[in-house]
Amino acid sequence: MKVKLAAHSIHASPPWQRPGSTGAPFKRRSVKCACPVCARVGASLRYTGAVTPPRRRGNPVYSLTILIATGAITLLVGGAIGLLIGRRLSADGQRLRDTERKLDQMTQDKRAYENSVVEHFSQTARLLNTLTDSYRNVHNHLASGAETLCADKGPVSLERLQGGAEDDAEIPAHLAQIQPPLDYAPKTSPGEKGMLNEEFGIERQRKPVEER
């Protein structure tokens, strides 16, 4: 049933509660239209309608307890998963930081070693230069001392060296026959054993034969 009023139409009953349909028990209710036309006319429309539409099958209704329990379980599972992932990432990050720290330490040790090597060779060069200067000073000192102290005796010594072959001094006979020392002990008799013999230098005592 349709009622046309002021160019708009209102259904007297919802489509799911039309006559001949099965549903919740009907309840008569009076509804007043709020449009300006109906307000001036003062029309009152009455229709029969259900308080609530019928439930559709296949749409389950969850209670508040089930929703809270599901949310809590989901929160716990998500927290556990996040904790495991965080520990894994933390362990990997710690290993990475340890590797970087070791690499930095090795770099610093290598740099310190290179600086020590450079300093060592620099100090060695300075000491060698000092030694060269000292050697030069010693050489100059000896040269100046020789020139000062041996100025008058140099030619005399040179004459002695040149005239040494004309010296008339005689050499004694026992000194003229000097021979270099031998590196082995000579035999004192033909029957004596030489140094290469295994019994050289070992004296054996013969035991007396006992008479029976």
Q: pLDDT > 70: what percent of the chain?
A: 45
33 versus 152: the higher-pLDDT residue is 152
67-94 as b/e, with b when 16 or more CB fall inside 10 Å? eeeeeeeeeeeeeeeeeeeeeeeeeeee
121-130 as b/e, with b when 16 or more CB fall inside 10 Å? eeeeeeeeee
pLDDT of residue 206: 52
**Residue 28 pLDDT > 50, yes or no?**
no
pLDDT of residue 112: 93
How would you write the chain as a 3-class SS string? CEEEECCEEEECCCHHHCCCCCCCCCEEEEECCCCHHHHHHCCCEEEEECCCCCCCCCCCCCCHHHHHHHHHHHHHHHHHHHHHHHHHHHHHHHHHHHHHHHHHHHHHHHHHHHHHHHHHHHHHHHHHHHHHHHHHHHHHHHHHHHHHHCCCCHHHHHHHHHCHHHCCCCCCHHHHCCCCCCCCCCCCCCCCCCCCCCCCCCCCCCCCCCCC
Distance of alpha carbon 186 from alpha carbon 196, whole angstroms:
12
194 versus 127: the higher-pLDDT residue is 127
**Domains in the chain: boundaries:** 2-49, 63-124
Band (148; pLDDT cuts 50, 70, 90): confident
